[in-house]
Structure 1
Amino acid sequence: MIAVNPTDSASLLAAFGALGVLVVIFAESGMLVVGFFLPGDTLLFPAGVLCAADGHQAPRLQLWQVLVCAAVGAVAGGQMGYLLGRHGGRRLLARTSNRRMKEGAARAERLLARYGYGKALVIGRFVPIVRTVLHPMAGALDVPARTFTVWQTVGGLLWSQSLVLTGYLLGSSVSHVDDYLLLLVAVVVVLSLLPLLAEARRSRRDRRERSRPTGS
């Protein structure tokens, strides 16, 4: 029996291959609570690498299968998140005691207000935590269904396909790249956190500016 760690991309890919990509990306793209604990960027990128890797112990994946599963998971998960938001998303967010979820919901709401629906739905896909709550928040805020569907599909395809293809191109050009997979995943994690750090810095600056006394 294979022991699977659902938060570990290597374990998921070894056990389920491309199907694991579909299920995890579906959940991470809008399933509140469970989506926070699943890999997203750190699953898609290694999956692309392993489509090209030639290591003896690396799971062999087919690029077209990974691309299709990533796309289906991202788009279908986004739609499910929207439906959850339309039917009880606000109540769930109000009851939760999860600090990460509350912070992610606040960032998602600010993103929608700052950039508008289309741009926010595309940008939000590339921000960890935010992409898990962005689609339920869009549903809770009554973003028009047609607008949501168009832009979350664009964002989902750009995010999922670009990460898989980047991993594949790196795996194709660097010999035995799978030997450095853990290091590469760590780099992806750091890069994926940069938008969150930038947003936190902007939020602190905005709070300081609002707290300054106005001149008489």
Structure 2
Amino acid sequence: MSEYLLVVAAVNTGWLLSSFGAFGVLACIFAETGLLIVGFFLPGDTLLVPAGLLCASTARTGPHLSLLPVLFCAAVGTIAGAQAGFWTGRRAGRAALAGVRNRRLRAGADRAEVLLARYGYAKAVLLGRFIPVVRTVLNPVAGALGVPVRTFTLWQVIGGLAWSQSLVLGGYWLGGSVHHPDAYLVPAVAAVVAVSLVPVALEVLRGRRTNRGRAASKGDEVLLP
């Protein structure tokens, strides 16, 4: 099932890039980071790496993209999208969060609130860029919770540039290092999905360790005379 999903993601990504090029990158990344209802199922990580890979492609057939327009569109899409999501949450307030019914969005919103409370505004906005789904919901959540505009804007720009540019350049490096880079599209998508799950896994492990520590502390208190 997972292999099937990876193939579907690669095909959809390939179609999007071949049909719309760098503008497709801008539109998709903007929607993923700025439009809460549709953004959570759009490709983000799995679009940027293949876009960079196709920038390095020298194949006579198939799409070929220019690196600088892709980098520019990725940066504009992620920065403008995050800011749009923030102002949407700012205007809608907490009522918008309470009305979320989708399970994935609800879980992402809860995780975003935990990140903001645990790590502070700056670090949470920066880290949230690299976590799927959270990348979509953290922006309106930050707006609804009253994160200062200047703080959010500064760190979403830093995080957005670090996320988008590194993935595009990573794909470009991969494309320049192997022969027939188009053949590596599905493996590249698989690698990106795996890497994107690392922050989530680390957060789960840290949460379990914290819970165990609290349970152990309570047990010691009970044993005390």
Show structure 1 runs of 4+ deviating over 3 A: 204-214
Please name the residue that 1:183 is paired with.
187
C-alpha distance in structure 1 between counterparts of 2:207 and 2:83, whole Å: 29
Determine if contact 1:7/1:37 at 8 Å carries over to the other structure: no
Q: Which moved more, 1:154-163 or 1:7-16?
A: 7-16
Aligned mate of 1:15, from 16, 19, 24: 19
Q: 42-51 or 200-209, which moves further after superposition? A: 200-209
In structure 2, how many angstroms separate the alpha carbons of the residues matched to 1:53 and 1:177? 6
CA-to-partner distance for each residue in 1:109-160, whole Å, 9 max, x for gaps? 1111222211211111111111111111110110111111111111111111
- Please identify the structure whose Cα radius of gyration is greater: 2
Whole-angstrom distance in 2 between the partners of 1:46 and 1:6? 8
Residue 173 (str. 1) matches residue 177 (str. 2): yes
Pairs within 5 Å for 1:36-185: 36-185=40-189
- Cα 1:99–1:208 shift into 2, 3 Å: farther
Distance 1:58 1:135 in 2: 36
**SS across alignment from 1:185:** helix
Distance in structure 2 (CA, Å) of the matches to 1:54 and 1:111:
42
Measure the CA separation in 2 of the matches of 1:104 and 1:28. Answer: 13
Residue type of the alignment partner of 1:135: N
- 1:34 is aligned to 38
Shift in Å, 1:16: 0.7
Kindly provide the amino acid, as one letter, of the partner of residue 37 in structure 1: F
User: 2: CA distance between counterparts of 1:189 and 1:57?
Assistant: 27
Q: Which runs of 5+ in 2 are unaligned?
A: 1-8
Give the distance between the partners of 1:137 and 1:207, measured in 2 at CA.
Answer: 25
Cα distance, 1:93 vs structure 2: 2.2
**Aligned in 2, Cα 1:204/1:30: closer, same or farther, shift over 3 Å?**
farther
Q: Note the alpha carbon deviations across 1:31-82, whole angstroms, 9 max, x for none.
A: 1121111000000000000001123333111111100100000000010010
Q: Is the 8 A contact 2:10 2:186 kept in 1?
A: no
Residues 53 and 176 in structure 1, CA contact (< 8 A), matched pair in contact too: yes
For 1:94, give the aligned amino acid.
A
User: Which residue in 1 is equivalent to 2:202?
Assistant: 198
Can you give the 5+ residue segments of structure 1 that lack an aligned partner in the other structure? none
Q: Check 1:6–1:189 CA distance in 2 against 1; reply closer, same or farther (3 A cut).
A: closer
Question: Could you tell which deviates more after superposition, 90-99 or 60-69?
Answer: 90-99
Task: Give the residue type in structure 2 aligned to 1:75.
Answer: I
The alignment's TM-score, normalised by the length of structure 1, stands at: 0.91
Q: Deviations over 1:155-212 (max 9, x none)?
A: 1111111110111111112111211211111111111112112222333443454456
The reply to whether residue 25 of structure 1 matches residue 35 of structure 2 is no
SS at match of 2:138: helix
